[in-house]
Chains A and B, each alone.
Chain A
Amino acid sequence: MTMRGTREAFIQGLLEAAQADPAIVLVCADSFKAARAAPFAAAFPDRVFDVGIAEQAAAAFAAGLASCGYKPYVNTYAGFIAMRALEQVRLYAGYTGLDVKFAGLNAGIYGGEREGVTHQFFEDLAALRAIPGLEIVVPADAGQVRQAVLALASRRGPAYIRLGSGREPDILGPEHRFEFGKLKVLSDTGTDVALFTQGPVLARVLKAADLLTARGIGAVVAEAATLKPFDAEAVAAVAARCARVVTVEDHNILGGLGSAVAETLAERGLARPLVRIGIRDVFPQSGPAEALLDHYGMRPEDIAAVSV
């Protein structure tokens, strides 16, 4: 499988968007290198701001830019946006509604892997999902990141896009078309189980579906790349035609995709056995990315096992 970086893809998408829109600027918190932002700076040297290792100030500074008509993208580590600067994101992007976008690096344990807990962020979505008006996108691979950036650039208002380490497998291929706000069914071999997922763990879910198919079990794999606004109607429609529901996310099972699906089913009185796969409310440890996901119960075999 080809590996490409979601960080590089973000900058590529931003570069394309910025060529069309002179209001787009980049704000870093000494994260310029980590963001792989050199191509953007080469093209638009005046449109890069670095406030130093100061994520709260980065978010506030971006709001100042946005209030004067610019469209800033704050690009730094996911957890330092979603947790250290949570209040600035809430107040100065969410509440003001200013056009400030956030790109969170190293998200999930897959993205943070060897850095350990300080750089593995698996609570970002839970924290940010509670902020009114903040749109959230969790792309699965580099190609989808690029399309998602372009989609977000065409939308006014605050948003968060989740990025990884810079070494993610290409999953969706060149034909994939990202549609903001839409659940996408990627494979459908029957109605024994509905597998909802988002982010790079999609690769594992697709493998799990193959394992199930080989055993004669039909599965729908549906990607919820937009976490907010959540495509609840489509999620409910897929769940309604399946016997079981499984969610797979590289995030705490509290507050992210699994919670959103559970809320969707419960609010509609749609009773289905539900298993949420993800970080089971524990702090993980350092390790190689794939080995970590294996260790924390996200092997394709683990996913397949709870699907029957």
Chain B
Amino acid sequence: MLNQETRTALAAKARRLRRMVVTTVHQAGDGHPGPALSCADIVTALYYRCMRIDPAWPRWEDRDRFILSKGHACTVLYAALADLGYFPESALTTFRSLGSILQGHPDMNKTPGVDMTSGSLGHGIPVGAGMAAAARLAGRDFRVYTVVGDGELNEGIVWEGAMAAARMGLDNLVAFVDCNGFQSGGTTEEISGMNRIRERFEAFGWRCREIDGHDFDQIVDAVEETRAPSGKPTMILARTVKGKGVSFMENNNDWHKGVPDKEQLARALVELADGREL
């Protein structure tokens, strides 16, 4: 259990990151707000509570690694990295522009703090498994976290990686599945039938846990639990709401990719203002 002060601080931080997300997408005139808002609390918990990082030393060898496998949600990662000081917050206004350090999807060579390039779906688990194997071979104790979309689980390489990670017993690898129930073209049920996610990962030999992906106590608890050696990689099935925090974006897949206009941005920022419960 988190104490009230920590819980409140994390919630405030997540609201701030969400405001940065909608503002960044508005300013760029492009981006994926819905998927970013859905994993904002997971990203907040990881970067502000769970992960061992040093923003002044982005390439620190012993840092925990993070892969945003659902790279299209990158505005929330960029928001966190900017807020933590990896780069100036002003860079957010250049998102997706020519010459920007903030590419349309995460780029490990252009953006300080991005541990791995992503955007082509399916790679968080197999690449993360390579990182986790590297930690073990080097005798280092860093951990590897990835956030994978539920629609993204359609990609076959996810399961190639899941199989290998389990066979290698990489218990320093933690994959969140941001389970918001939608993918680009509709619900995961109607497009791909990607259901029974927990059972699928369990069958692949993963340790699994199911949580509310907007509850900081549950997110942090689930991560803390993975620190005990188990010989298995962990999948945390996080039940989330696509567009979480902005009423007109919630569970509305039009906001998978969509740009709030000036009036919509103003409404979103009111809803995400400090002091409000989401």
Binding site for B on A (CB under 8 A): 25, 46-47, 49, 51-52, 54, 56-57, 60-70, 72, 87-88, 91-92, 95-97
The number of inter-chain residue pairs (CB within 8 angstroms) is 100
> Is the C-beta of B120 less than 8 angstroms from some C-beta in chain A?
yes
Could you say which of B128, B144, B161, B163 has the most chain A C-beta atoms within 10 Å of its C-beta? B161
Residue numbers of B with Cβ under 8 A of A are 61, 65, 108-109, 115-117, 120, 123, 126-135, 137-138, 144, 156-157, 160-161, 163-164, 167-168
Give chain A residues whose Cβ lies under 8 Å from the Cβ of B108.
67, 96
A61 touches B61 (CB 8 A): no
Residue A95 contacts which of B117, B128, B144, B156 (CB distance < 8 angstroms)?
Answer: B117
Residue of A nearest to B119 (CB): A91
Q: How far is the CA of A189 from the CA of B128 in the complex (A)?
A: 55
Interface centre among B109, B116, B130, B132 (most CB of A within 10 A): B130
Main secondary structure of the interface of B (DSSP, over half): helix
Task: Specify the chain A residue showing the minimal Cβ separation from B155.
Answer: A56
**By the criterion CB–CB under 8 Å, are B137 and A96 in contact?**
no
In the complex, A87 Cα to B155 Cα: how many Å?
A: 13
CA distance A68 to B130 in the complex (A): 9
Q: Give, as a whole number of angstroms, the nearest-CB distance from B246 to chain A.
A: 31
Q: How far is the CB of A180 from chain B (nearest CB, A)?
A: 24
* Chain A residue at minimal CB-CB distance from B131: A64
What's the nearest-Cβ distance from chain B to residue A181, in Å?
24
Which residues of A are found within 8 Å of B133, using beta-carbon distances?
Answer: 49, 61, 64-65
State whether A56 touches B157 (Cβ < 8 A). yes
Also in contact, A57 and B135, with CB within 8 A (given A51-B164, A52-B164, A67-B108):
no
Q: Which residue of B lies closest to A60 (CB)?
A: B126
Set B116, B130, B131, B164: member contacting A54, Cβ < 8 A: B164
Residues of B within 8 A of A54 (CB): 157, 160-161, 163-164
Give every chain B residue within 8 A of A88 (Cβ-Cβ): 123, 157
